[in-house]
Amino acid sequence: MKRKNPPAHRRNRILRRPWAALLATAALLVTAAPPAVADGAEAFIRSTADRVFTSYAEEVTDEQRATAFRDILTATFELRTIARFTLGRYWRVASSDQRKEYRRLFEDFLVLAYANRFRDLGGVKLRVTSVVTISKRDQLVQSEVDPGSGRPPIRIGWRVRETRHGYRIVDVIVDGISMSVTQRDQFAAAIRSSGGKVDGLLAMLRDKTGPRQ
Amino acid sequence: MMLLETERADGVNLGFGRRVRLTRTPDLGGPARVLIAVLCLGSLGPLGCATPPPPDDPEALESFRQTNDPFEPLNRVVFAVNIEADRYILKPVAYVYKETVPEPVQEGVGNFLQNLGSPVVFLNSVLQGDVDHAGETLLRFLINSSIGLAGTSDVAGEMGFVRRDEDFGQTLGVWGADAGPYIMLPFLGPSSTRDALGLVVDHFADPWTYLRYEKFNYARLGAEIVDARARNYELLNDLEKTSVDHYAAVRSLYRQDRRDAIRNGAEPDLPPLPDIPADEEELEDEEKEPARPPAQ
């Protein structure tokens, strides 16, 4: 389909409601039909989330969870895209060595920050509530999990991109809070406070993540 | 700017998300905000205000504008004090509460406080033109206050009446008001000019404010703070441990959380993500260091 593309965020706004309506209608019409293209992203998220929550349930120590999380992270996330996004406008001024080190540290940092963040969710079941196309390459798989013990359900949005290697996650949005945006914002602040130097952020990340195993 | 001189703000947002409404707040926020006003409006820039980037750097300017934290240096000082107060007072208290009070009791306390907040949620739903949610909140209040044993049990929730928090800051947002500059309130946590104004309005709109039993409102305030801290105990600790810039992480979370609350959880506005051309990908792959040995 050829058309002039408004900026992505505008496009989202325009398409949001019609898409929702369209998907709802489509869902009604094809409930019995074999999985269509849109189900690819959904199936991918279902299996990935299953892996994550199962690993939370099975692994006992924080270290074990970290190892399991890193395996899932590198296999299912498009880390190169996320890394570039989270460095924001500083990506362009970073040298090739800085970029390389940043990408390595960023992966370690994600493991540190998120491997155990959702450990309470061991064994929960994911409910996919909708799948929306948000840009040419990206879909947003919206889902809910029930954390139990009377707490309200947690909304998890998975931004999925179709890459050369198949589907990959490019962002996770928990209760409306985007992981990528949060990291981008704090990294930008860290760089600003070190006088606009990417090396300042790298030093902080090195410090946080510690020596590599 | 008017806001900076307002008498006091009544609310707390611990970390992110769970807003707790306070009644009868000790008037600690006022002087600090007057100080901000004096420092910034009196153009003693470096003392209290962030220096904008040079005008020849449009990208930096744009990011400065989006962050919208002109009081950042002072905010950071307030934040540091808040963190210390948390470490030595609130966190230990919340820990003891979390570990010693039986879970059903904690749940009952949470439900009770939630139910007390219903009138303000109802009013704001009406102001936002959300008649459905206003009705739902009214029913929740009636059901939980009676069958739900004075609100200690969320019977209405089990019946499918969904709980959702609405406050005047959100109402202003629904009406189209921008969040305004970010403000770190002493002891009360992250806010913005819009949301701080919302706290004041909610305080005066809250029927319990006019209750004759002063002690009740103090007890409610204390309970709300401890309840919120205990519920987010691990999350807030994790966040502190795993951020490179704790202040900026909290600011980002607060901003995103408020936008989500105003949207009532509808699909988020997501930023465009970089599209990496295939040839660049291959180049990066070649550069990439040799794969690390498999994890044990």
pLDDT tens digit string along A56-81?
A: 777 678 888 888 888 889 989 999 88
Q: What is the mean pLDDT of residues B91-112?
A: 89
Query: Do the bridges between strand A154-163 and strand B189-192 make them parallel or antiparallel, or are there none, so unpaired?
Result: unpaired
B51 contact A CB<8A: no
**Residue B224 counted as domain residue:** yes
Q: With a cut of 60, say whether residue B276 has pLDDT above it.
A: yes
Q: Do B238 and A109 touch (CB under 8 A)?
A: no
Report the percentage of chain B scoring pLDDT > 90.
24
Q: With a cut of 60, say whether residue A114 has pLDDT above it.
A: yes
The gap from C-alpha B28 to its chain's centroid, in whole angstroms, comes to: 18
A10 contact B CB<8A: no
Domain count, chain B: 1
**Residue B15 counted as domain residue:** no
A152 contact B CB<8A: yes
From residue B219, alpha-carbon distances to A190, B18, B22, B149, B273 in Å are: 39, 18, 10, 19, 47
Q: With a cut of 90, say whether residue B127 has pLDDT above it.
A: yes
Residues of chain B contacting residue A181, judged by C-beta atoms under 8 Å apart: 252, 256, 271
What is the C-alpha separation between A200 and B296, in angstroms, rounded?
Answer: 32
pLDDT band for position B23 (cuts 50, 70, 90): very low
**Mean pLDDT comparison of A5-9, A99-103, A146-150, B40-44, highest-scoring range:** A99-103
Residues of chain A contacting residue B63, judged by C-beta atoms under 8 Å apart: 88-89, 188
**Residue B210 counted as domain residue:** yes
Q: What is the mean pLDDT of residues A15-32?
A: 49
**Residue B246 counted as domain residue:** yes
Per-residue model confidence as pLDDT tens digits over B40-90: 554 444 445 777 777 777 777 777 788 888 888 899 999 999 999 989 998
Question: Taking all residues of chain B, what is their mean pLDDT, rounded to a whole number?
Answer: 78
pLDDT band for position B291 (cuts 50, 70, 90): very low
Structure tokens at A3: 């058309």
Q: What is the mean pLDDT of residues A161-166?
A: 86
A197 contact B CB<8A: no
Q: Please tell me the least confidently modeled range out of A136-140, A155-159, A182-186, B58-62.
A: B58-62
Cβ A173 vs Cβ B270: under 8 Å: yes
Residues of chain B contacting residue A176, judged by C-beta atoms under 8 Å apart: 256-257, 259-261, 263, 265, 268
pLDDT computed for residue B156 by the predictor: 80
Q: Map tokens 């009644």 to a residue.
A: B23
CA-nearest of A71, A56, A51, A46 to A160 is A46
Q: What is the mean pLDDT of residues B197-224?
A: 87
pLDDT computed for residue B125 by the predictor: 93
Q: With a cut of 80, say whether residue B34 has pLDDT above it.
A: no
Measured in degrees and rounded to the nearest 5, phi and psi for residue A174 equal -100, 120
Give the one of A140, A176, A187 whose C-beta lies nearest to B260's C-beta.
A176
Give the one of B16, B107, B288 whose C-beta lies nearest to A150's C-beta.
B107
pLDDT computed for residue B9 by the predictor: 35
pLDDT computed for residue A159 by the predictor: 93
Three-class HEC string of chain B: CHHHHCCCCCCEECCCCCEECCCCCCCCHHHHHHHHHHHHHCCCHHHHCCCCCCCCCHHHHHHHHHHCCCCHHHHHHHHHHHHHHHHHHHHHHHHHHHHHCCHHHHHHHHHHHHHHCHHHHHHHHHHCCCHHHHHHHHHHHHHHHHCCCCCCCCHHHHCCCCCCCCCHHHHHHHCCCCCCCEEEECCCEEEEHHHHHHHHHHHHHCHHHHCCCHHHHHHHHHHHHHHHHHHCHHHHHHHHHCCCCHHHHHHHHHHHHHHHHHHCCCCCCCCCCCCCCHHHHHHHHHHCCCCCCCCC
**Residue B247 counted as domain residue:** yes
Cβ B192 vs Cβ B258: under 8 Å: yes
Q: What angle do CA B225, B214, B14 make, to 5 degrees?
A: 15
B282 contact A CB<8A: no
Q: With a cut of 80, say whether residue B16 has pLDDT above it.
A: no
**Residue B244 counted as domain residue:** yes
Structure tokens at B286: 């070649």
What is the C-alpha separation between A8 and B258, in angstroms, rounded?
Answer: 22
Burial of B258 (0-12, 13-18, 19+ CB in 10 A): buried
Measured in degrees and rounded to the nearest 5, phi and psi for residue A139 equal -125, 150
Window A:168-187, CB contacts with B under 8 Å: 170-171, 173, 175-178, 180-182, 185-187
pLDDT computed for residue B144 by the predictor: 86
Measured in degrees and rounded to the nearest 5, phi and psi for residue A177 equal -110, 115
**Residue B292 counted as domain residue:** no
B245 contact A CB<8A: yes
pLDDT computed for residue A148 by the predictor: 73
Residues of chain A contacting residue B295, judged by C-beta atoms under 8 Å apart: 67, 70-71, 213
Distance from CA of A171 to the nearest CA of B (A): 9
What is the C-alpha separation between A36 and A26, in angstroms, rounded?
Answer: 10
**Residue B158 counted as domain residue:** no
Q: Is the dihedral of CA A115, A117, A119, A122 positive or negative?
A: negative
Cβ A158 vs Cβ A42: under 8 Å: no
Three-class HEC string of B34-93: HHHHHHHHCCCHHHHCCCCCCCCCHHHHHHHHHHCCCCHHHHHHHHHHHHHHHHHHHHHH
Measured in degrees and rounded to the nearest 5, phi and psi for residue A17 equal -70, -50
Distance from CA of A91 to the nearest CA of B (A): 11
pLDDT band for position A105 (cuts 50, 70, 90): very high
Q: What is the pTM of this model?
A: 0.77
pLDDT computed for residue B171 by the predictor: 92
Q: Which domain holds residue B195?
A: 70-100+179-199+206-265
Q: Map tokens 């806001």 to a residue.
A: B3
pLDDT computed for residue A113 by the predictor: 87
Q: With a cut of 50, say whether residue B128 has pLDDT above it.
A: yes
Q: What is the CA radius of gyration of chain B?
A: 22
Q: With a cut of 70, say whether residue B32 has pLDDT above it.
A: no
